[in-house]
């Protein structure tokens, strides 16, 4: 039985009437640019995330870019980013006129730690972009402490982590509520996915929110008057309507992802030594945008799963410090060993909410078969 890595048609089938009605209502009013559908979604998602300001924009990439631009850093200021993440994290830093400095990751969580950030700091460091990779938050308590100590701004790349939480000082805190700003993506494969591109910036800082709201409409509050050079990066009203219709389902979908992850954890435990299941750190709620294992003979396993129609992918095959476009920054293989090792060992498996019991049994069974335990 083939199992796709993601099945968006299956999701649409479960909520088709709600989505179609939401789209039709925007079409009826012809209010496509910002307007009521976007305002409504911003209010709803801001409440869900637990943050004062939620500002829609065109993509997760733009959410990072606008956040960084709004922080008023100087050209060439250094921003620490993980080497093991989706490209946009570092690309946005570069496009904001800043200099990405790559830090290594914790091999267990795949995230930055205060220690790996500290190793990347110089006199020119002004900010950190912390990624909550695969749906699990980085240890924000220790990173925020370091940022405070060194006077650094913090942007959370929460593109994969909507709804993820972490216990800090006895309180559960959500991804995107702890840094100066949080960046979210509604790319269709994210846990809350639109019918195209979309993004969101969160912040509890009123002044920062004001600057971000201006930046997304060419840098002015009043039409044709520009206090700063912004861009056109709005959340499309049709996307906002889809996302408002989907948002009430997100907690249920997240629970389904977590249940699939627990199932795989149980089945794959017998392969210890050959397969390492994702580490879920204590005091954190992982939302499993990806269920990412480390596998012995990873490339062979990938070919085996491909041959049997089991969806899988390598997120990410080449760490960012080794990308051709950053060759000028002078990094070498060996500089960030945990990121380099991860890129050679990781494999993500189907974990989307609509996965059936038979499908996840098939995925686990093929992995067992490959390692010869069945």
Ligand X SMILES: *Cc1c(COP(=O)(O)O)cnc(C)c1O
Query: Cα(201)–Cα(50) distance, rounded to whole angstroms?
Result: 13
Closest to 89 (Cα-Cα) out of 115, 112, 107, 73: 112
Task: Using CB under 6 A, count the residues that bind ligand X.
Answer: 15
Q: Please tell me whether residue 182 binds ligand X under the rule CB under 6 A.
A: no
Figure out which of the listed residues 11, 59, 67, 244 binds ligand X, where binding follows CB under 6 A.
Answer: 59
Nearer to ligand X, 138 or 271 (CB): 138
What six digits make up the tokens of 356? Answer: 């059936």
Among 109, 136, 166, 185, binds ligand X (CB under 6 A): 185
Map the footprint of ligand X across residues 98-137, applying CB under 6 A: 131
> 237-246 vs 35-49: helix axis angle to the nearest 10?
40
Pick the piece of the chain touching ligand X (CB under 6 A) from 9-17, 82-90, 142-150, 163-171.
82-90
Binders of ligand X in range 149-168 (CB under 6 A): 157, 159-160
Chain residue at closest Cβ approach to ligand X: 60
> Residue 202 interacts with ligand X (CB under 6 A)?
no
* Cβ at position 26, least distance to ligand X in Å: 20
Q: Measuring CA to CA, which residue among 341, 275, 287 is closest to residue 312?
A: 275
> Residue 53: beta bridge partners?
203
236 binds ligand X (CB under 6 A): no
86 or 326, CB closer to ligand X?
86
Query: Which of 117, 364 has the CB closer to ligand X?
Result: 117
User: Between 176 and 199, whose beta carbon lies closer to ligand X?
Assistant: 199
Interhelix angle 8-29/237-246, nearest 10 degrees = 130
Residue 348 contacts ligand X per CB under 6 A: no
Q: Could you tell me which residues come within 8 angstroms of residue 258 by beta carbon, excluding any fewer than 6 positions away?
A: 286, 287, 288
Q: Give the Cα separation of 303 and 296 in Å (integer).
A: 13
Cα(251)–Cα(191) distance, integer angstroms: 10
The CB-of-114 to ligand X minimum distance in angstroms stands at 20
Is 191 a binder of ligand X (CB under 6 A)? no
- Closest contact distance (angstroms) between CB of 133 and ligand X is 6
- Which secondary-structure segment (H or E) carries 184? strand 181-185
- What's the first-to-final CA gap in the chain, in angstroms? 17
C-beta of 60: minimal distance to ligand X in Å?
2
81 lines the binding site for ligand X (CB under 6 A): no
Token duo for residue 165: 């939480």
Contact residues for 205 (Cβ-Cβ < 8 A; gap 6+)? 53, 180, 181
Residue 90 CB, nearest approach to ligand X (Å): 10
CA 256 to CA 217: how far, in whole Å?
38
> How far apart, in whole angstroms, are the C-alpha atoms of residue 132 and residue 286?
10
Residue from the set 85, 113, 233, 239 that interacts with ligand X by CB under 6 A: 85
Using the rule CB under 6 A, is 244 a contact of ligand X? no
**Sites of contact with ligand X (CB under 6 A):** 59-61, 85-86, 88-89, 131, 157, 159-160, 185, 187, 197, 199
């Amino acid at each position: 039985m083939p199992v796709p890595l993601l099945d968006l048609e299956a999701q649409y089938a479960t909520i088709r009437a709600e989505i179609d009605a939401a789209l039709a209502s925007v079409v009826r009013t012809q209010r496509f640019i910002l307007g009521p559908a976007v305002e409504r979604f911003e209010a709803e998602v801001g409440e869900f995330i637990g943050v004062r300001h939620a500002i829609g924009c065109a993509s997760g990439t733009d959410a990072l870019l606008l956040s960084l631009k709004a922080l008023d850093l100087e050209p060439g200021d250094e921003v620490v980013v993980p080497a093991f993440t989706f490209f946009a994290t570092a690309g946005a830093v570069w496009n904001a006129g800043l200099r990405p400095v790559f830090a290594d990751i914790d091999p267990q969580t795949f995230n930055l730690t205060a220690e790996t950030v500290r190793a990347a700091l110089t006199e020119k460091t002004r900010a950190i972009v912390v990624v909550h990779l695969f749906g699990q938050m980085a240890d924000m308590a220790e990173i925020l402490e370091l940022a405070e100590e060194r006077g650094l701004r913090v942007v959370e790349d929460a593109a994969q982590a909507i709804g993820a939480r972490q216990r800090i000082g006895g309180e559960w805190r959500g991804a995107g509520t702890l840094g100066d700003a949080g960046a979210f993506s509604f790319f269709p494969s994210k846990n809350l996915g639109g019918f195209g591109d979309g993004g969101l910036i969160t912040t509890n800082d009123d002044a920062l929110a004001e600057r971000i709201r201006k930046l997304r409409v060419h840098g002015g509050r009043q039409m044709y008057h520009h206090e700063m050079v912004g861009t056109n990066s709005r959340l499309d009203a049709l996307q906002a309507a889809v996302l408002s219709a989907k948002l009430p389902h997100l907690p249920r979908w997240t629970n389904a992802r977590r249940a699939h992850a627990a199932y795989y954890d149980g089945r794959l435990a017998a392969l210890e030594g050959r397969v390492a299941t994702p580490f879920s750190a204590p005091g954190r709620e992982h939302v499993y945008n990806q269920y990412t294992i480390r596998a012995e003979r990873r490339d062979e396993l990938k070919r085996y799963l491909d041959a049997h129609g089991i969806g899988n992918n390598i997120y990410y095959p080449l760490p960012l410090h080794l990308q051709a476009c950053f060759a000028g920054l002078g990094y070498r293989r060996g500089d960030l060993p945990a990121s380099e090792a991860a890129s050679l060992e990781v494999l993500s498996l189907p974990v989307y909410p609509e996965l059936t019991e038979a499908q996840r049994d098939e995925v686990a069974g093929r992995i067992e078969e490959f390692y010869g335990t069945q």
